Amino acid sequence: MRTWASWKPFGIGERKPNNYLELWKAFRAVKGNRRYAWRLLTQGTCDGCALGTKGMRDWTMDEVHLCNIRLRLLPLNTAPALDPALLADVSALPAKSAQLRELGRLPHPMIRRAGDPGFTRISWDEALDTIAPRLNGKLGVYLTSRGVPNENYFAAQKAVRALGSNSVDNAARICHSPSTVALKQAIGAAATTCSYTDWIGSDLIVFIGSNPSNNQPVAMKYLYHAKKAGTKVAMVNAYREPGMQKYWVPSNVESAVFGTKITDHFFPVNIGGDIGFLNGVLKHLIENDWLDEAFIADRTKDFEEARAAVESQSWEELEALSGATKAEMYELARLLGEAKSAVLVWSMGVTQHTYGEDNVRAIVNLALARGFLGRDHCGLMPIRGHSGVQGGAEMGAYATGLPGGLPITEEHTRRFAELWGFDLPLTPGLTATDMIDAAHAGELDVLVSSGGNFLEVLPDPAYCREALERVGLRVHVDIVVSSQMLVPGETVILLPAQTRYEMEGGVTETSTERRIIFSPEVKGPRVGEAWPEWKIFTELAARARPELAAKLRYGGTADIRRDIERAVPFYEGIAKLAKFGDNVQYGGRHLPFGTATFAAVGLPRLHRPDGTFLVATRRGKQFNSMVHERVDGFNGATREAVLMSPYDADRLGLPDGTEVELTTASGSLVGKVLRAPLTPGNIQVHWPEGNVLLDKARRSPDAKIPDYNAAATLTRHG
């Protein structure tokens, strides 16, 4: 009873999502394909968040797992083919991707040339023969993480490199690329150091800029069991997320009826104030001698540099930057200092800043100071939001890295040249944001976008639209129509892709906990002439470079897995995965590391002009940029909501529902005030709607991740 959130059965009267209504909506949405939908849920590996359930179970506990994200993806995975005639005149189509998805699946290759009102159907041969000769120009290839398996990523990056380019990037660039940079520098690997089982029984879990209740809802069951085992949960965030205060796990009887209290300690910070707060915590750990001296001496280096950095920072500076008090920093330091074990978890609230790498380094410093690596119930966990994002970078679909996360050096490119039989370029390629910049400057000849939607994902949608219009040839590979496909251009080609469940021979994904999981083909209806993406990319490269065709084409996904195992040694075992439930966790429960490295983390210059608010973009009822509901069940926010603290709303005389306008140098957004438990001086708006406020030029120095935050003025509208 100590963990119960409410005595009211099923939280009647509480504001929370209705998970059972979600089940009913999913049931209704797949009318006509319910048997197939059931097989996807029970026989496939989840293509939602990166927790990686096999069917409706996983490797952490022997209970049923099923989250709303996966249910909401069912209509996409079971949709029938659209009528190609619908695309004959795009002016008649709805403008938003949510409505376009309802048209159905893309069944055939289609083309639109400059001046055409829409798309006409073409054959695969015509499409490939139109694209292939133009791939010798300046090329950019982007793959999103919407269920894309390892095999597609690997084959695509190999094909791009056979074309003489490293300009292949994926969605990891705009979510956890700063984690990749910082973790490689600190421990030599860009992955979580622990497993989900380490949550349950840990003394403490600290969530920093992360909201699993919205983005990884299956994880809430792990937190339920952790709370039952006595684990304390702390949260560092600008917003006291309602779903992280109390949660009703629908598949657990006790939690479904009485709910579960999740967060025990909440630490409010400014948007962008994480380093100030975390450095203050480290400063307290040092001053109070709450250090694991033996671990620091035996397993780390450069601690004195990190110590000197925080000792040089005054409490006044740390408080001003963080928006928190010295006492609040002390409280988290005390919790860490008294804990014998802890897991530190973070997500895009930490990474999507111009100083995202330093944010992660500050987190790593805390774990190293307390020795929270390499043992049970301890670790660093950059929790992933999509099932393909961990594997995407590890497969080498990364402009700045080769398979296995290796840097692009002469030594490493020589190794892959010997393995694959062709030379690789030595110059790093264009990142996702570089591609848009090059396109806007008229310097990109071909853009291939597999899934994704630059109009919704990147800052400054108007700039992205102009960039897309200026590319000579755009190729969109996807299962449904999106708004970026409708942007006119010289030549635009649509290629229909298969879902992971349709691919003959099955595929694999890599979860947040480094578990490589096999997902078999699931028998059911098939759509038109859709191809697996691995075949699309390798066939394009084979036609562009026929002398390499035999080295690029695969006989099936099993061939690709064998190639992956040769190219990425730590993926040993992937070639043997062949049936439902087969998996291998590389590195084991705890990722091995050698000597870990502390970082001297300086304070960023967080400039907020007088009269402005710090604005962050948040996710609501959505998966990536795919919005499922206009109202967030956790806080009642509509998509137009401008979430602000009661203190600020009262100070400015703004009742809930007041229409206001947020303005930055990049653009403006009109919304409606909604009081929320935010740190004063901070505002949150939904993403991607808030992208109009963002400065496209603000990116982190190493990872080049866009900054999804801004300083904005607020005025009454009208």
b/e code 602-636 from CB counts within 10 Å (16+ = b): ebbebeeeeebbbbbbbbbbbbbbbbbbeebbbbe
C-alpha dist (Å) from residue 115 to 89, 90, 118, 119, 230: 11, 12, 9, 11, 65
Do residues 543 and 478 touch, judged by C-beta distance below 8 A?
no
Distance CA 445, CA 459 (A): 22
CB 350 within 8 A of CB 356: yes
**Structural domain span for residue 414:** 85-174+391-585
Spatial CA neighbour of 271 closest among 596, 581, 643: 643
Question: What's the burial of 527, exposed, middle or buried (CB within 10 Å: 0-12/13-18/19+)?
Answer: buried
CA distance 187 to 251: 37
Shared domain check, 574 and 691: no
What local confidence, expressed as pLDDT, does residue 621 receive? Answer: 67
pLDDT of residue 236: 98
- Asked if residue 474 belongs to a domain, the reply is yes
183 and 45 assigned to the same domain: no
* One domain for residues 242 and 281: yes
In a domain, residue 607? The reply is no
Locate 281 and state its tokens: 């915590």
Q: Within this chain, do residues 277 and 203 fall inside the same structural domain, yes or no?
A: yes
pLDDT at 458: 94
pLDDT at 50: 80
Same domain, 48 and 91: no
Q: Please check whether residue 4 lies inside any domain of the structure.
A: no
Give the chain's domain count.
4
Q: Where are the beta strands (DSSP E) in 307-462?
A: 342-346, 379-382, 446-450
pLDDT number for residue 161: 98
Instruction: Tell me the pLDDT tens digit for each residue of 583-596.
Output: 999 999 999 999 99
Which of the residues in the chain have pLDDT under 70?
A: 145-146, 621-626, 628
Which of 78, 108, 135 is a domain's end point? 78
Provide the 8-state DSSP code for 373: S
Of the candidates 45, 63, 78, which is a domain's last residue? 78
d(CA 451, CA 350): 25
Measured from the Cβ of residue 92, the count of other Cβ atoms closer than 10 Å reads 10
Q: What is the pTM of this model?
A: 0.96
Distance CA 153, CA 401 (A): 13
Q: Are residues 517 and 437 in the same domain?
A: yes
Q: How confident is the prediction for the chain on average, in pLDDT? A: 94
CATH number reported for the structural domain that contains residue 674 in this entry: 2.40.40.20
Residues 6+ apart with CB under 8 A from 73: 47, 48, 147, 623
Write the CATH number for 423.
Answer: 3.40.50.740
Res 676: pLDDT: 97
Look at residue 654 and give its three-state secondary structure: coil
Identify whether residues 169 and 197 lie together within a single domain.
no
On whether both 60 and 37 belong to a single domain, the answer is: yes
Residue 3 belongs to a domain: no
Q: Is residue 604 part of a domain?
A: no
Buried b (16+ CB within 10 A) or exposed e, 657-689: ebebbbbbebbebebbbbbbbbbebbbbbbbbb
In this structure, the answer to whether residues 662 and 690 fall within a common structural domain is: yes
CATH number at residue 226: 3.40.228.10
Domain membership of residue 2 (yes or no) is no
For the chain, give the number of residues: 718
pLDDT of residue 216: 85
pLDDT at residue number 250: 87
pLDDT in the model for residue 146: 67
Q: What's the CA gap between 21 and 356, in Å, rounded?
A: 38
In the numeric block, which tokens belong to residue 426?
């030595």
Pick the last residue of a domain from 325, 358, 386.
386
Q: Are residues 628 and 659 in the same domain?
A: yes
pLDDT tens digits, residue range 375-407?
Answer: 999 999 999 877 888 999 999 999 999 999 999
34 lies in the same domain as 146: no
486 domain-assigned: yes
Query: Residue 145's pLDDT is what?
Result: 65
- Bridge partners, 170 (sequence order): 143
Phi, psi angles (nearest 5°) of residue 580: -50, 130
Q: What phi and psi values does residue 611 have, to the nearest 5 degrees?
A: 85, 5
Q: What is the pLDDT of residues 337-364, one digit of tens each?
A: 999 999 999 999 999 999 999 999 999 9
Q: Are residues 441 and 506 in the same domain?
A: yes
Domain contains 673: yes
- What angle do the packed helices 315-322 and 326-338 form, to 10 degrees? 90
pLDDT digits (tens, 9 = 90+) for 297-326: 999 999 999 999 999 999 999 999 999 999
